[in-house]
Amino acid sequence: MRIDILTLFPEMCETVFMESITGRAVKAGKLEVFAHNFRDFSDNRHRTVDDTPYGGGAGMLLRAQPIYDCFVHVCEQIGKRPHMIYMSPQGKTLTQRRVRELSQLENIVILCGHYEGVDERLIEKIVDEEVSIGDYVLTGGELPALVLTDAVARMLPGVLASEDAFVEESHYGGLLEYPQYTKPAEWMGRTVPEVLLSGHHANIAAWRHKQALLRTREKRPDLLAKREENGDE
């Protein structure tokens, strides 16, 4: 999969993906991430990307032209019109289900806004989908774009160890993860639940499923309600 990020801060995006698991996915050729500075596409001498809003009001808006020309450049590079996402507090809140769907696409382009936002006509012309990572406002769309890219990257085949991918199934089945423990078996007077030391795989699986249910009821009862709506087991 290839992800292109349109941003005023390309270095911020590129360095993040050279690290950690996403970096591994890039090195393994499972993921390509390119960050493009749309300032490079500004049609004026001073390379400006923003201007004042018609009708007045505080702040500046991103002009349509540099972003559109940058988008066309990316389309030409990849030889088609890719799915275009604008990170925005006005978007639909990102879910694991949507992440999984997006991970099936061959290409995604993500636009990161700044200031008071973007000229509405640009959104009408090239944005397919507005996505929000939650109901709060940040100074720019870069962090949300990085969140989306990371979430999509870990769903790509072979990016996670297969064991992790299996654990993931239980999460996007709509339950929270069961509690986990590692060595030592006793720490500060606290022991590990007996069943986990038993080596009895069926009992362990049953215990974990029950813990996942209990924990979801305790911490996120809203998820249980949604699971019933979806007809999950």
Which chain residues interact with ligand 4GN by CB under 6 A? 87-89, 113-114, 117, 132-134, 136-138, 140-141, 144
Helices (H), the chain: 10-17, 20-27, 64-78, 96-102, 120-126, 142-153, 162-172, 194-197, 201-219, 221-230
Which of 6, 133 has the CB closer to ligand 4GN? 133
User: Measured from the CB of residue 211, what is the shortest distance to ligand 4GN in angstroms?
Assistant: 31
Which of 50, 178 has the CB closer to ligand 4GN? 50
CB 131 within 8 A of CB 97: no
Q: Which residues contact 152 (CB under 8 A, 6 or more apart)?
A: 1, 3, 99, 102, 103, 108
Give me the residue whose beta carbon is nearest to ligand 4GN.
Answer: 113
Which of 3, 160 has the CB closer to ligand 4GN? 3
Characterise 17 by phi-psi region: left (phi > 0), alpha (psi -120 to 50), beta (else).
Answer: alpha
User: Measured from the CB of residue 65, what is the shortest distance to ligand 4GN in angstroms?
Assistant: 17
C-alpha–C-alpha distance, residues 187 and 66, integer Å: 57
Which of 1, 145 has the CB closer to ligand 4GN? 145
User: Measured from the CB of residue 21, what is the shortest distance to ligand 4GN in angstroms?
Assistant: 22
User: Measured from the CB of residue 2, what is the shortest distance to ligand 4GN in angstroms?
Assistant: 22
